[in-house]
Amino acid sequence: MMNRLSPITAAPASHAASPWWRGAVIYQVYPRSYLDTNGDGIGDLPGVTARLDHIASLGVDAIWLSPFFTSPMRDFGYDVADYCDVDPIFGNLADFDALVARAHALGLKVMIDQVYAHTSDLHPWFAESRQSRTNPRADWYVWADAKADGSPPSNWQSVFGGPAWTWDARRRQYYLHNFLSSQPQLNGHDPDVQDALLDVARFWLDRGVDGFRLDALNFAMHDPALTDNPPAPDNDTPRTRPFDFQLRRYNQSHSDIPAFIERIRTLTDRYDAVFTMAEVGGEEALSEMQLYTRGDARLNSAYGFDFLYAEALTPQLVAEAQANWPDRAGTGWPSWAFENHDAPRALSRWCAPQDRAAFARLKLLLLMCLRGNVILYQGEELGLTQVSIPFEQLQDPEAIANWPLTLSRDGARTPMPWTAQDEHGGFSSGQPWLPLGDENLAEAADRQEGDPHSLLNLTRDMLALRKANPALREGSFDAVSIDESLLAVRRRGDGQSVLCVFNLSPVPCAWPGGISGQGRVLAAVNGAAPETTLPAYGAVLVEETE
């Protein structure tokens, strides 16, 4: 049995009073790989606009656009050379305005990335800063003198490998870069830098943007004393980069970051219903995410990494991730994703190839039952898998630098397959910038569109179910039974109680003892039914009578 849904009813009036983003489902678009309209093999903004109907048909609340700003693309747009313009490979500002207008006409909010930790080394700000130690933007980036022996000012290491410092002969100083050497670190402590970044946010807000994802926000400020990071204890985790050998206490996560966040919130509050979501990674991610979202003067949400690099989807992982965000005053609101442009596709991480069809249905239902916002990465609704990219076709600078020990991010960035009969999947009339992969081409949208039992159509059903039931969209989350295979939770909200039972294993398991399955079945996948043995990857949702 693929799925079973009860009739979907309208949400109660009290649900409509909540902010649009609370409990929202947000669809992440990676523009390079969505749809190419000019035949150069790279997706563009007109391509996004042309296929917004597909996104709207899913029933999501918003789209999040990965970077499309002017950039040399050494890190595919996260190295920004002009914050307030569109890179020509994606189109122009008029294309962006048309995208926003079309999205709003379809009832979709529009979120965009903001990259405040660093710029490209081709940004005019950096070009000026590196000219001298006395120019107006001399302190807009993190510069420091060499040690007496000429070595870098501290032992800090970059995410992409090697020291986080590069020598610049113009200033006869080192500049900091936590990522590529072509991504110099902005000095977030400088009030003028903060003002300039707030002007960038204002520019996009004035163009109709409804929200921001703030990239690598805990990298926005460093320890001005340039204190060496201590070594990280050996915890038996494989280390593929020098970055992995340190506790990153001083090159990131400075205590002044929340004050800048409050400035961001003050600005966004001047615009109606703008949503702000932080991306925060690292060993202290949870405490920092909660710090950045605490109270009503900071960000609305934070983007959790709990699932993105997990080797397995277990009941314990789900329960712990949800327990870390208790439903109490002053605690922020989480956002969850199982996949994104940086992490391997979940179906390639979490199940055997022969189980992917069943697991994809279970995974989707579980995602829609989490408390918080849900991020759906493009192609997830089709069940796309990780594509193996040979070294000679790699584009990802991290994968190239650390080959073969780092799994390429390119494998999750491959183009969307729109039509199965086209060798390029209807993505482009030219050669795509990355291969689509034969497995993914077979899951093309046109093939699934006409199949009532497809994952694509199940996605539409499950999003409608979440939207129609306040307990699923905004209610509390209480784990009532957990073992190695089974997860049973109760979602409560607005007078509704929904029991959600999942078998996360490839073998059948017993219905949880002592838990009644009486009530109206809202959804079931893979042949599951209340109070019976749950099939492999079976799941069922029951609206309880209270």
Which residues are marked as active site? 215, 279
DSSP bridge pairs for 493: 496
**Other CB atoms closer than 10 Å to residue 275's CB: what's the count?**
27
Q: Where are the beta strands (DSSP E) in 352-504?
A: 373-377, 476-482, 486-493, 496-503
Place of tokens 């986080």: 164
Q: Which tokens go with 454?
A: 């497809």
Give the pairing type, strands 486-493 and 69-70: unpaired
In the three-class reduction of DSSP (H, G, I as helix; E, B as strand; rest coil), residue 538 is classed as: coil
Phi then psi for 337, rounded to 5 degrees? -145, 140
Burial of 517 (0-12, 13-18, 19+ CB in 10 A): middle
C-alpha to C-alpha distance for 146 and 153, rounded to whole angstroms: 5
Closest CA to 373 of 324, 301, 317: 301
64 in Cβ contact with 14 (< 8 Å) = no
- The letter for the amino acid at 39 is G
CA geometry: angle 52, 57, 60, nearest 5 deg: 85
Distance (Å, whole) CA 44 – CA 67: 11
C-alpha span between 344 and 280 (Å, rounded): 18
> Beta-strand (E) ranges in 370-414?
373-377
Residues in the chain: 546
Residues 6+ apart with CB under 8 A from 452: none
CA 37 to chain centre: 25
Burial of 408 (0-12, 13-18, 19+ CB in 10 A): buried
Closest C-alpha to 351, from 370, 338, 337, 340: 338
The helix or strand, by DSSP H or E, that contains position 166, with its residue range, turns out to be strand 165-168
Sign of CA dihedral 195, 201, 205, 211: negative
Of 463, 489, 493, the C-alpha closest to 476 is 493
Q: Tell me if residue 544 falls in helix, strand or coil.
A: strand
Q: Which residues of 314-339 are buried (b: 16+ CB within 10 A; e: fewer)?
A: bbebbbebbeebeeeeeebbbbbbbb
- Taking the CA atoms of the chain, what radius of gyration do you get in angstroms? 23
C-alpha distances out from residue 37 to 33, 43, 52, 64, 341, Å: 11, 7, 14, 20, 21
